[in-house]
Structure 1
Amino acid sequence: MNTATSTSFFLFLFSSMLFLQSSHAAVSCSVVAMKAIPCVAFVTGKQPKPAPGCCSGLQQLAHGAVTVVDRRAICQCLESGVKAFPGVQDRLLSQIPSFCGIKIGFPVSLNTNCNKIN
């Protein structure tokens, strides 16, 4: 897939996950998608480190995840998107918090159970 196709596919996946959001969540899946798109090249192994837009977008999401409902909803949007996106490497996905200086309190993985996030 080329970059434009990847970006469009990623946006489609995230925007189609809106039903996962609780009405109390501060962030919609479409916003999560826009914040996470710059991370695609890194988590698929096409870039050696996350782009600045990746880190800033995910930092904004982390700061906006005030409640458990918010954190779980954002996690579910990301989880659904990355699992449906071919080429995402779990080892690269798990490196994003340290690369971006984000403390989220749970491991980032393709196997993260969003329902267990507090």
Structure 2
Amino acid sequence: MQNTLVTFLTWLTIFLLVVEPGRSFSFDDASNQLLPCLTYVIGLGGNTPSSECCNGAVALQSSTPTIDDRREACEFLKAVASTLPLIKDDKASSLFEKCNVTLAFPFSKDANCESIS
């Protein structure tokens, strides 16, 4: 678990270095918003995401008003899903639905972020 957290924080640092100013979507904000979801997506949080996690998912939805924002958020989640080996694909892909959040992209290492409109 500690190696997974170190890997996550390493990727988070890399993403923070490439944020473009002037965008609504922020890697830093998304990381903070979705950090409570980590236990759910690695299978330690039961069958339902926490209210803190779902609040973060709602905030993520609000931070992606433009196509560019949605694509950046998608790429962020795709990288997180690809980097953390303990993430359970079924948990990650069901996260937004379980939180009653509609996004134009999944939390998946297989997301096609270029197709987002």
TM over 0.5: yes
Match of 1:91 in 2: 90
Q: Could you tell me how far 1:66 is from its partner in structure 2? A: 0.6
> Percent same amino acid at aligned positions?
26
Match of 1:67 in 2: 66
Which sections of structure 2, spanning at least 5 residues, go unmatched? none
Number of positions where the alignment pairs a residue of Structure 1 with one of Structure 2: 116
Q: Could you tell me how far 1:108 is from its partner in structure 2? A: 3.9
Q: How does 1:1-118 map to 2 (within 5 A)?
A: 1-2=1-2, 6-7=4-5, 9-18=7-16, 21-48=19-46, 49-118=48-117
Q: Distance in 1 between matches of 2:28 and 2:44?
A: 24
Q: Distance in 1 between matches of 2:100 and 2:57?
A: 10
Q: Distance in 1 between matches of 2:36 and 2:72?
A: 20
Q: Could you tell me how far 1:107 is from its partner in structure 2? A: 4.1
Alpha-carbon displacement from aligned partner over 1:56-80 (angstroms, at most 9, x marks no partner): 0111110121100000111111111
Which sections of structure 1, spanning at least 5 residues, go unmatched? none
Conservation of the 8 A alpha-carbon contact between 1:75 and 1:114:
yes
Q: CA RMSD in A?
A: 2.0
Q: TM-score, normalization: structure 1? A: 0.84
Q: TM-score, normalization: structure 2? A: 0.84
